[in-house]
Chain A
Amino acid sequence: MEATRVQPSFLERVMLNMRARPAAWIVIAMTLGFLVIIGIFAGPSQLINTIVTGGMWALMAVGLALVFGVMNIPHFAHGDSFMIGAYVAYFVFTPIQAYLRDNPNPFLSAVGPLIGWIAAALVGFVAGAVMEKLVFYPLRMRTRRGWVMNTFLLTVGISFVLVYGANLILGPNFRGVPNYWNVPPIVIGSVRLTMERIAAFVVAIVAIVAFWIFLSNTRTGRAIRAVAQDEMGAEMVGINLNFIYTLTFALATAMAALAGASLLFMFPAYPTVGLKPLYFAWYVVMLVGLGNVQGAIVGGFIVAVLQTLTQQFFGVSYEDVVPVVVMILVLLLVPNGIFGSEVKGIQEQ
């Protein structure tokens, strides 16, 4: 006797979703359209650029959305997790590179960057856990009143400590790795694809997909989603809230650190390197709706398209001005973001 479950097919679900959120689908369609326009008018290399950047903003924004969705923390130090990742990757990869210069080893030179990235993600994970235990755990124990605003200010403090701590210990110099691999770029027609770009995109996609599988198919991942939906209910069914909070924060930090590590060729490590990724990650989550993890993935690409369009049609100097205009429109037309947000804490002052 098998219970018959009525599962809507994928297509049906898409149709349902479309009817529920028309604005979201219009925006997605427009984004795809703009991608085509970019491809035609600005050239395919711009198109590739846009997609790679989109993957990275998505990876940053997912962490931000996760922390807000599960813990209700507007994370202002997310960019500094990026900075941590960039530094770790630099300090792990440079010795490997130096070693390789003396004794070439094809296997190590292929795998070397990966070691740096994994190290960055691990350090980010640990740093996130430490941050949560040191800062948010005591506050949670003391009071939950005014949580959103208080934690916002706390993350501002963390950001200050991390940025100026890095400045203190490592100095303000740029530490970059121009190329991870000494291989010539792949040329397809007029498009030159460097290995770093491909790798950065692959890392972003793999990390997001792995994270998605973790959230939907594992026990712990489901527990995280349960906490995001209903904290008290989750506690009642025996989920260890403190563990989930620490894990969530650590995961988000690890993802940002991974982004920082894999973008080291674009953003050399220096104390305030995280400001721009932070800004764009916030831009993404405000656009799609605070705490909406699914939306953040799509949003990363939307923002990258907007960025490329701005650069193409207005010039780089308006890069900071256009987001504000977009944000104003979004807030006036769809105040909860284009994909909506159903976060419990958002109603709190």
Chain B
Amino acid sequence: MSMERTVTQAERVSGGLWEGIKAVLARIGFSPLGVVAFIIIALLPLVPPFNQEHIMRWLVMGAFLGAQAVAFDFTAGYINVVNFGFAAILGVGAYTSAVLSNTLPILIVQPGLPPWLTIWIGALAAGLIGFLLGMLTLRLRGIFAAVMAWFVGIALMGLATNMPKLTRGSLGFAPPPLLNTTNNLPYYYVALGMLLLTYICLRLVTNSHMGLAFRAIGQNIDAARASGINPTRYRVINFTLSCVFAGLLGGFYAHYIGSLTPRTVMHTSKTVEVLALAYIGGRGSMWGGAAVAFPFVFFIEYLRSNLSQLPGLHMVIYGVLLIIVMIFYPGGAAQLYSTIARRIQRRAKGG
């Protein structure tokens, strides 16, 4: 009898531990399967086909794009505002960090601050721009905000091009590298860390009561206002946070790639790339964009290297996928995953 009881107790304890771990993971937005997937992605560059330098570069870009999609989806999927100046705000972070780490503009000290510090300053600068833009536009309805963000984005790009003293304009700016290595592997872990940081931070926010307010505003702004939520305040908070992470990622990009021009970082087409990724991944899921980013980057780079006589084919595929997802399957990859998971669960229970 007593033996049996202890066994059940142990079972309950281990079950409780498992449940506890699951609860903690759920709070930061991971399912057990998600953790496994993340670990697999993290270990990928150590396994033979992926440990070549050019493939590791693709992995870094995958993590970078995925993190952007997470930050983008935080506004688009939750408060239903499409930040059409996303790439430009990312560029603000990139340029701030690049300029400060090259020379301090006031003291003219060379070299400037270490890149590890300046990417955070860049993030704050981007957040400030996001805050101002949010204060300005987010009292307006969705489409006004999107177009206004687009205009501001184009203006920021124009400024970056027209301040050659600071940014060297379209000649290109060469910020110092983040790490003292030419290998891609350390950069990959930095990028992956940023992806994780972005995801967990933003997920903690959306899992709090604030996330509930975001969703309420995104679904029906008038109903949200009627139930005592101040839409402007929450939208500005959301927008600013998203921009902070955009700026951080921009800083990483600047010091990873080592060359910046306004067109390659801040152009509208860059925003559209991230937008397409976030929506194909599944709006409002946050992880969808990040999960889709890796296979996508591989697919795109494969097309680019093997079908170089067809330039831009991957972009056409991007666009077609975005259209198809928007019309027929608005939940994107995240919905596909949850549908399949539910079906498997039901079958397991039934069988």
Contacts and interface: CB of A to CB of B under 8 A. Distances in A.
Please determine whether chains A and B interact with each other in the same assembly. Answer: yes
A348 B141 CA distance: 8
Interface string A149-169: 110111011111101110110
A150 B327 CA distance: 8
Contacts of B319: 157-161, 164
A139 B326 contact: yes
Contacts of A154: 322-323, 326-327
Interface stretch (A3-11, A13-21, A316-324): A316-324
A331 B275 CA distance: 25
A320 B162 CA distance: 10
Contacts of B310: 168
B212 to A, nearest CB: 17
Interface string A14-37: 000000000000000000000000
B154 A153 contact: no
A158 B137 CA distance: 26
B146 interface: yes
Nearest to A275: B268
B330 interface: yes
Interface in B250-288: 268-269, 272, 275-276, 279
Nearest to B146: A152
Nearest to A323: B151
Contacts of B312: 164, 167-168
- Mostly, the B contact residues are helix
Interface in B218-253: 218-221
B193 interface: no
A189 interface: no
B316 A168 contact: yes
B18 interface: no
Nearest to A141: B327
B315 interface: yes
A347 B221 CA distance: 10
A167 B161 CA distance: 25
Contacts of B82: 149, 152-153
B232 to A, nearest CB: 13
A286 B147 contact: yes
B137 A324 contact: no
The interface size bin for chain B is 35 or more
Contacts of A42: none
A279 interface: yes
Indicate the member of A135, A152, A164 with the most B CB atoms within 10 Å: A164
A279 B272 CA distance: 15
B204 interface: no
Given A138-B328, A154-B327, A148 B143 contact: yes
A112 interface: no
B320 interface: yes
A311 to B, nearest CB: 14
A346 interface: yes
Given A168-B312, A168-B313, A321-B155, A156 B327 contact: no
Nearest to B157: A320
A108 interface: no
B315 to A, nearest CB: 4
Contacts of A279: 154
A142 interface: yes
B143 A152 contact: yes
A335 B155 CA distance: 20
B159 interface: yes
Contacts of A164: 312-313, 315-316, 318-319
A284 to B, nearest CB: 12
B337 interface: no
A165 B320 CA distance: 11
Given A157-B322, A160-B322, A320-B157, A331 B146 contact: no
Contact of B137 (A135, A323, A331): A331
Indicate the member of B154, B221, B315, B327 with the most A CB atoms within 10 Å: B327
A160 B272 contact: yes
B327 A142 contact: yes
A146 interface: yes
A321 B159 contact: yes
A346 B147 CA distance: 14
Nearest to A315: B162
Nearest to B319: A160
Nearest to B158: A320
Nearest to A321: B155
A282 interface: yes
Contact of A167 (B80, B220, B311): B311
A335 B143 CA distance: 13
A327 interface: yes
B195 interface: no
A63 interface: no
A349 interface: yes
Contacts of B43: none
Interface string B301-312: 000000000111
Indicate the member of A158, A321, A348 with the most B CB atoms within 10 Å: A321
Interface of A: 74, 135, 138-139, 142, 146, 148-150, 152-154, 156-161, 163-165, 167-168, 171-172, 275, 279, 282-283, 286, 290, 317-321, 323-324, 327-328, 331-332, 335, 346-349
11 contacts: A148-B143, A152-B82, A152-B146, A157-B322, A160-B319, A172-B311, A279-B154, A317-B162, A320-B157, A328-B148, A331-B137
